[in-house]
Structure 1
Amino acid sequence: MSQSAGFERAFSLLETSVRDGRIPGGVLGCVDASGNRLIRSIGAAQTVPAPRKMHDDTWFDLASLTKVIFTTSEILKLVDAGRIDLDAPLTSVLPDFRQYNPDAWERKITFRQCLGHQTPFPAVEPIYTYGRDPDLLRAFIMQREWRAGPSVYSDINFILLGFVLERLARQTLRALNPGQGFAWSADPEHAAATEDCTWRNRVLVGEVHDDNCSALQGSGHAGLFGTAASVLGFAAGLLDGSGASAAAIRLIRTPLSARRTHGWERPYEGWSGGEHCSTETIGHTGFTGTGLWIDFANGRAWTLLTNRVHPTRHFDSGIIALRRGVGDAFTRA
């Protein structure tokens, strides 16, 4: 099946989801190792309080794609520069982490463990409920006695990696360059709406959806905005080797567990990329309804960007099945 045929099959699934009222709208895109790309949009960028049409260049809150597009990339640049040893503890950069207990387990956590979500941190934590002062919340995260549990996918890992970037740059994340084609916010007239937020009491458009990221005023686990074109540009740079060092690309393709590489996910039964991905595929999703998958074996990548949480997350959008179906459409023999 050609890239264009796979694209048409995948887009028909997105079209059905929009027509059935499962999601307001979305943008589908794909790119190959030569840079050839297809992008198409459908549906609404916003439905309430006033409708707006989705466009090919609509900006999206990329949510946890921030972890791989920005934070993982920046951490691996520091590894390339010799400023970070992946197997050293975070305290090599954050010596004040849990500073009142020298024997705390948190002080032994390494950069590699955070990238691979191989730490005992909890899956989720409503940090924003402790206040809105970003400096106070940073101190709270750094000094809290965290409850330890089994290794799970945890935003805390990447919030801490974000602190590392801030400490070494001596700037907040929002003061750092988000990368070509990306930003830390978006013009509401050109952005897909996310949730009618009960905490901030407004429909969120062009500002970060993630509550913890909002309260921290920038963090390593969420907050990046981009378009389908910018996401595909990032993917193309990894496919052709121009977007990162050979060492960094090798690390994001190197398994750390049955499900994860350095920062990214790899294929497993039931994963978001579908059933037919090559073993050389990596991918990641974002809570707002975003996703990116890169198949190094076949020299292609695809992105599905939706506003599936608009106007509320408390609805079965069918995004899990849609992502898997889109992946299968691109990879089916």
Structure 2
Amino acid sequence: MSAQATLDRAFKPLEQSIATGRIPGGILGVVEANGDRATRVIGDAQRVPHARPMTEGTWFDLASLTKVIFTTPRIIALAEAGKIDLDAPLISVIPDFRQYNPDNWERKITFRQCLGHQTPFPGVFPIYTYGTDPNLLRAFVLQHEWPAGPAVYSDLNFILLGIALERLTGKLIREQDPGPGFAWSADPANAAATEQDAWRGRVVVGEVHDENCYALQGSGHAGLFGTVVSVLDYAQSLLTASGVSPGVVELMRTRVGGRRTHGWELPYDGWSGGDHCSAATIGHTGFTGVGLWLDFAKGRAWTLLTNRVHPTRHFDSGIFALRRAVGDLVNAE
């Protein structure tokens, strides 16, 4: 079946979300390993304080897709090149991490554990409320006595991996090449707006929505911008291992623990990718309303890009059900 036919049947849930006012706008894109692809756009890129239509060229804040498009492949590539050992502790690259207590658990966590969210860090922490100096906040992350809990999905894992990348490259995240078709900001006139942010006192558009990433002025967990074309290009490169090392792709598909691979998530009951994915599927979502899923058995990937937090996150956008409905229709064969 062609990518266009797949998109035609899977577009209806997004169309309904726009029609009922739950999400301002969005783009659905499908790509096959052979290069066949299709995209469709609907709704508005911005509604507050003025309306702008969504276009295929609209730039999206990719939020946590940064973890799997930027940070994960770079960490794995460094391991493949022998620059780091995934099973070594982070202190092999960040020796000053929790340096005043050499026996604590933080100094024992490894790169692999961070990639798979297998650490005791808290799931959410408002780093941005501790100041606005990015160097001070990096020091805070490295020296704060973190409460240990059960292993959960935590941005802190990738904030630390981002600091490791900065140490290894000698460049801050925002000084590093984000990859072809990606950027660390976008022209506000051609970007999907996110939230009317009480902290910044403005509608956020073209700059990162995530408060911690904004305060850190670049991080490994968020901050990447891209278009539907750049996201599908990246997905196709993984499906075909072209421009990406097969070893990197293999580790992205390899389970670390629970339902996590190196960076990505695997299918489970109630998964964002729906119930009809093959077991050879990986996926990831982002808070702003984005997501990317790749089914290696079917040789197909799809991305759903929305601005569901515009103008506020404090609204039931139905994004969780929308993602599953789209995934089920993409894979309804």
**TM-score (norm. length: structure 2):** 0.99
1:67–1:220 CA contact under 8 A, matched in 2:
yes
| Dislocated runs of 4+, deviation >4 Å | none
Is 1:71 aligned with 2:43? no
Distance across 2 between alignment mates of 1:285 and 1:320 = 10
2:6–2:30 CA contact under 8 A, matched in 1:
no
1:45–1:53 CA contact under 8 A, matched in 2:
yes
Distance across 2 between alignment mates of 1:73 and 1:213 = 19
1:193–1:203 CA contact under 8 A, matched in 2:
yes
Distance across 2 between alignment mates of 1:243 and 1:9 = 31
- State the match for 2:152 in structure 1: 152
1:178–1:184 CA contact under 8 A, matched in 2:
yes
Q: For residue 266 of structure 2, what is the amino acid of its counterpart?
A: R
Distance across 2 between alignment mates of 1:330 and 1:41 = 16
Distance across 2 between alignment mates of 1:192 and 1:294 = 24
User: How much does 1:80 deviate?
Assistant: 1.5
Q: For residue 318 of structure 1, what is the amino acid of its counterpart?
A: G
- State the match for 2:91 in structure 1: 91
Q: Could you tell which deviates more after superposition, 4-13 or 140-149?
A: 4-13
1:234–1:243 CA contact under 8 A, matched in 2:
no
2:7–2:39 CA contact under 8 A, matched in 1:
no
- State the match for 1:59 in structure 2: 59
SS of alignment partner, residue 11 of structure 2: helix
SS of alignment partner, residue 100 of structure 1: coil
2:265–2:284 CA contact under 8 A, matched in 1:
yes
After the TM superposition, which residues 104-183 of structure 1 pair with which residues of structure 2 at under 5 Å, given as runs?
A: 104-183=104-183
Distance across 1 between alignment mates of 2:243 and 2:115 = 19
Q: For residue 161 of structure 1, what is the amino acid of its counterpart?
A: L
1:281–1:294 CA contact under 8 A, matched in 2:
yes
Structure 1 unaligned residues grouped into runs of 5+: none
User: How much does 1:2 deviate?
Assistant: 4.8
Q: For residue 263 of structure 2, what is the amino acid of its counterpart?
A: G
Distance across 2 between alignment mates of 1:29 and 1:257 = 30
Distance across 1 between alignment mates of 2:276 and 2:183 = 33
2:65–2:291 CA contact under 8 A, matched in 1:
yes
Cα deviation digits, residues 234-270 of structure 1 (max 9, x gap):
0000111113211111101111223110000000000
Q: For residue 137 of structure 2, what is the amino acid of its counterpart?
A: L
Distance across 2 between alignment mates of 1:270 and 1:116 = 19
The count of corresponding residues between Structure 1 and Structure 2 is 333
- State the match for 1:228 in structure 2: 228
- State the match for 1:303 in structure 2: 303
Distance across 1 between alignment mates of 2:239 and 2:61 = 24
2:24–2:43 CA contact under 8 A, matched in 1:
yes
1:3–1:330 CA contact under 8 A, matched in 2:
no
SS of alignment partner, residue 205 of structure 1: coil
1:27–1:228 CA contact under 8 A, matched in 2:
yes
1:63–1:210 CA contact under 8 A, matched in 2:
yes
Distance across 2 between alignment mates of 1:206 and 1:177 = 18
Structure 2 unaligned residues grouped into runs of 5+: none
SS of alignment partner, residue 329 of structure 1: helix
Distance across 2 between alignment mates of 1:118 and 1:131 = 28
**TM-score (norm. length: structure 1):** 0.99
After the TM superposition, which residues 1-333 of structure 1 pair with which residues of structure 2 at under 5 Å, given as runs?
A: 2-333=2-333
User: How much does 1:68 deviate?
Assistant: 0.2
Distance across 1 between alignment mates of 2:2 and 2:330 = 9
1:285–1:291 CA contact under 8 A, matched in 2:
yes
Q: For residue 47 of structure 2, what is the amino acid of its counterpart?
A: T
- CA RMSD in angstroms comes to 0.8
User: What is the identity percentage for the equivalent residue pairs of Structure 1 and Structure 2?
Assistant: 70
1:28–1:303 CA contact under 8 A, matched in 2:
yes
User: How much does 1:4 deviate?
Assistant: 2.7
Distance across 1 between alignment mates of 2:29 and 2:225 = 16
Cα deviation digits, residues 135-163 of structure 1 (max 9, x gap):
00000000011000000000000000000
Distance across 1 between alignment mates of 2:275 and 2:205 = 34
Cα deviation digits, residues 103-141 of structure 1 (max 9, x gap):
010000000000000000000000000010000000000
2:58–2:190 CA contact under 8 A, matched in 1:
yes
Cα deviation digits, residues 244-303 of structure 1 (max 9, x gap):
211111101111223110000000000100001000000000000000000100101000
Cα deviation digits, residues 151-190 of structure 1 (max 9, x gap):
0000000000000000011110000000000000000010
